[in-house]
Amino acid sequence: MCIGPSKEKEHQQHHINSYTRKLERELCRSGRLLSILAASRMTYSTTNTSRVSLEGVMVGINKEELQKTINLLIDQKIAAELKGVQEENARLREELDDNRRAFEENSKSRRLYYLTEAKQTDVVTGQLTSTMWRILTGAMIMFMQAGFAMLEAGSVRVYNVQAILMKNLLDLCISPIVWWLIGWGLAFGYVVDPLSGELTSGTEFSGGSGYAGTGLTEYCIEFDAITGDCVDEAPAPLGKPKFNPDEFFFFWTFSAAASTIVSGGVAERVRCSSYFLFSSVMSGFIYPVLVAWLWSGHGWLSKPTDGLDATYYDFAGSGVVHVTGGIAALVGAKILGPRKGRFDEMVDQTEFIPHSIPLIVLGTMILWFGWIGFNAGSTSSMVSTVDADKAARSAMNTVLSGASGGFTLFVIRLVFFNMYDVAGVCNGCLAGLVSITAGSANVSSFSALIIGIIGGCLYQTASRVVASRHIDDPIDAFAVHGMSGIWGTIACVLFDNGSGFSVFGPAGITRIGPNNYEPSVNVGTQLGVIFRIVDDNIMVRILERWCIPRI
| pLDDT score at 549 | 47
Looking at the structure, tell me whether residues 446 and 358 fall in a common domain. yes
Do 131 and 36 lie in one domain? The reply is no
218 within some domain: no
Cα of 186 vs its chain's centroid, Å: 24
Residue 92 pLDDT exceeds 70 = yes
| Gyration radius (Cα) of the chain, Å | 47
Give yes or no: residues 478 and 339 share one domain.
yes
| Inter-helix orientation angle 161-178/245-265, to 10° | 150
pLDDT band at residue 474 using 50, 70 and 90 as cut-offs: very high
Q: Are strands 230-233 and 240-241 parallel, antiparallel or unpaired?
A: unpaired
pLDDT confidence of residue 57: 46
- Overall number of domains in the chain: 2
Claim to verify: residue 49 and residue 123 sit in the same structural domain: no
Give 387 or 429, the one with higher predicted confidence: 429
**What is the span of the domain harbouring residue 512?**
118-189+243-294+314-550
On the question of pLDDT at 56 being above 50, the answer is no
pLDDT at 83: 77
Q: Which of 238-252, 280-294, 405-419 has the lowest mean pLDDT?
A: 238-252
**What is the C-alpha separation between 352 and 312, in angstroms, rounded?**
40
Q: How far is CA 379 from CA 343, 374, 392, 535, in A?
A: 44, 10, 10, 29
Q: What confidence category does residue 363 fall into, taking pLDDT thresholds of 50, 70 and 90?
A: very high
* Residue 307 belongs to some domain of the structure: no
Looking at residue 389, which CATH number applies to its domain? 1.10.3430.10
Residue range 103-152, pLDDT digits in tens:
777 766 666 655 555 555 566 677 788 889 999 999 999 999 999 999 99
- 24 & 141 share domain: no
Do 263 and 181 sit in the same domain of this protein? yes
Average pLDDT over residues 354-361: 95
Task: Give this prediction's pTM.
Answer: 0.74
Same domain, 57 and 130: no
pLDDT-derived band of residue 512, with 50, 70 and 90 as boundaries?
low
- 458 and 332 both lie in a single domain: yes
CA dihedral 334, 337, 338, 340 (to 10 degrees): -170
| CA count, 13 A, side-chain hemisphere, 126 | 14
Residue 287 domain-assigned (yes or no): yes
Output the pLDDT for position 278. 87
Residues 506 and 429 in one domain: yes
Chain segment 415-451, per-residue pLDDT in tens: 999 999 999 999 999 999 999 999 999 898 999 999 9
489 within a domain of the structure (yes/no): yes
Q: Is residue 309 situated within a structural domain? A: no
Q: Does residue 303 lie in a domain region?
A: no
Q: Is there a domain that residue 394 lies in?
A: yes
Q: Rounded to whole angstroms, how far apart are CA atoms 291 and 182?
A: 13
Same domain, 32 and 143: no
Per-residue 3-state assignment (H helix, E strand, C coil) for 416-452: HHCCCCHHHHHHHHHHHHHHHHCCCCCCCHHHHHHHH
Do residues 247 and 152 both lie within one domain? yes
**Inside any domain, residue 541:** yes
Mean pLDDT is lowest, of 309-313, 400-404, 501-505, for 501-505
263-296 burial, b if ≥16 CB within 10 A, otherwise e?
A: bbbbbbbbeeebbebbbbbbbbbbbbbbbbbbbb
Lowest model confidence (mean pLDDT) among 68-72, 257-261, 474-478 = 68-72
Helices (H) and strands (E) in the chain, counts: 19, 5
* pLDDT, tens digit, 9 for 90 and up, residues 300-327: 877 765 555 567 889 999 999 999 999 9
SS3 of 128-178:
HHHHHHHHHHHHHHHHHHHHHHHHHHHHCCHHHHHHHHHHHHHHHHHHHHH
Q: Does residue 123 sit in the same domain as residue 55?
A: no
